Structure 1
Amino acid sequence: MKKHIPYLLQQDKVFQQIIDLYGEPHISTRPEGFDSLCKLIIEQQVSLASAKACYLKMESFLGKVSPQNILNASDEDLRNNAISKQKVVYLKELSKAILNGELQLETLSDKSEEQIKEELTSIKGIGHWTAEVYIIFCLQKEDVFPIGDIALQNTLKELFSVTTKEEMIFLSQKWKPNRSLATYFFWHYYLKKRNREPLIY
């Protein structure tokens, strides 16, 4: 994906400004599959540090994070191991979909972004943000713009005279077909400005 940095530099001076301030962005990747999707569900609407702690506690309790182990665990056990009541429901719905063949994660990489989003968001608890971040991190699709991401929104408001999602989406058109890379730039800016590092676990 980094090979497209020169293209973005030609399209918008903001990317050179980010490089001048903080260097090139780190391109975070995660493996495809159930484990990564569970992490993204747990990361919904909480800090990444908090999500990491919750995931690791659940993993320690389960031994292995797998669909069968999550379904075998009682709701109470999962809640006692740092998973909220709502996210217990989401993780169990995902586990059921995997085990009954409703969702086949290994086939997603061959499908279009719209097809992938449709399949993922059909599962309770997986919205557009979770689906889009999975598509970027795990499937490495190159033109994804996760407009529901708060860090992305806040960064665009800081760097451009935009306030609404509609304005942000319109702005993003000039970064096509490399909006995933543009998003990595803005996440990089967001973290570095706040003296934070990408979270890896």
Structure 2
Amino acid sequence: MEPLRTDPVLAEVIDTYGPLSLEPTDDPFVQLVVSIIEQQLSTASANAIRERVFARFEIAPEVLIDVDATELNDLGVSHRKIEYIQDAAQAFMENDFTRDSFEEMTDQEVIEKLTTIHGVGVWTAKMFLMFSLGREDVFPLEDLGIRNGMIKLYGECTRKEMIEVAEQWRPYRSIAALYIWQYYEDTPIKD
């Protein structure tokens, strides 16, 4: 991961946190459900809802497609996200999506397939690439934590400038994102 250390700002963050890595999940559908639950929520809220849902249901397309919406809503899942989860379940069943089928696709192909699912945008697809498939070269600029973390590390910069900074991290932009998230979560906002 030498490209990450050529950036002196990121190298300092790496020294602070030590090795971080991505571990692909065994079940890509589970990770997609996690990403849907996490959309536009604080980490604490998303974790609480996820724990309740995972404790109550088996997270599998054939199960969640038929779950009564009221049951999920009672666990804190919004009506809109229930639709998204059930649409994802249907897409996984209809397309026979598996870890192996995704492994054969490029990052862009995965994004294109997933974003046909109602409620799955580019952010969710990139989280899927990183945390379900373990892809190491995804730059999730759509994520507010990444943008705010980069501003904390590099000062005020535009999205275009953030992309330019991230180019030097290839082919480990996902790993760089892990460090940026960690730094952002651990560093208090200065007045």
2:65 maps to 1:68: no
Per-residue CA shift, 1:50-71, capped at 9, x if unaligned? 1121122122332x12212212
Q: Is 1:111 the equivalent of 2:105?
A: yes
Show structure 1 runs of 4+ deviating over 3 A: none
Q: 1:16-31 counterparts in 2 under 5 A?
A: 16-20=11-15, 22-31=16-25
- Structure 2 CA distance for aligned equivalents of residues 49 and 29 of structure 1: 22
Structure 1: 5+ residue stretches without partners? 195-201
CA contact (8 A) 2:3 2:170 kept: no
Pairing of 1:37-186 with structure 2 (within 5 A): 37-62=32-57, 64-101=58-95, 104-106=97-99, 107-186=101-180
Structure 2 gap segments, 5+ residues each: none
1:123 deviation in Å? 0.6
Contact 2:24 2:130 in 1 (8 A): no
Could you tell me whether the CA contact under 8 Å between 1:26 and 1:188 is conserved in 2? no
Give distance in 1, aligned partners of 2:19 and 2:79: 35
Q: Is the 8 A contact 2:28 2:128 kept in 1?
A: no
TM-score scaled to structure 2, two decimals?
A: 0.89
Instruction: Tell me, in whole angstroms, the C-alpha distance in 2 between the residues paired with 1:175 and 1:59.
Output: 35
For the 8 Å contact 2:38–2:46, the answer to whether it is kept is: yes
Equivalenced residues, count: 186
1:88-133: CA deviation from partner (whole Å, max 9, x where unpaired): 01001001111222x6132112211111110111111111111111
Q: Structure 1 CA distance, aligned partners of 2:82 and 2:115?
A: 17
Counterpart secondary structure, 2:168: helix
CA distance in 2 between counterparts of 1:161 and 1:191 reads 17
- Separation in structure 1 between the aligned mates of residue 19 and residue 183 of structure 2, nearest angstrom: 8
Post-superposition Cα deviations, 1:5-58, rounded to whole Å, max 9, x if no partner, equal x33212x101222134x2325324351411111011000110122112112212
Q: Kindly provide the amino acid, as one letter, of the partner of residue 9 in structure 1.
A: R
TM-score, structure 1 as length reference: 0.85
Partner secondary structure for residue 114 of structure 1: helix
26 and 174 in structure 1: CA distance in 2 versus 1, 3 angstrom threshold:
closer
Superposed CA RMSD? 1.7
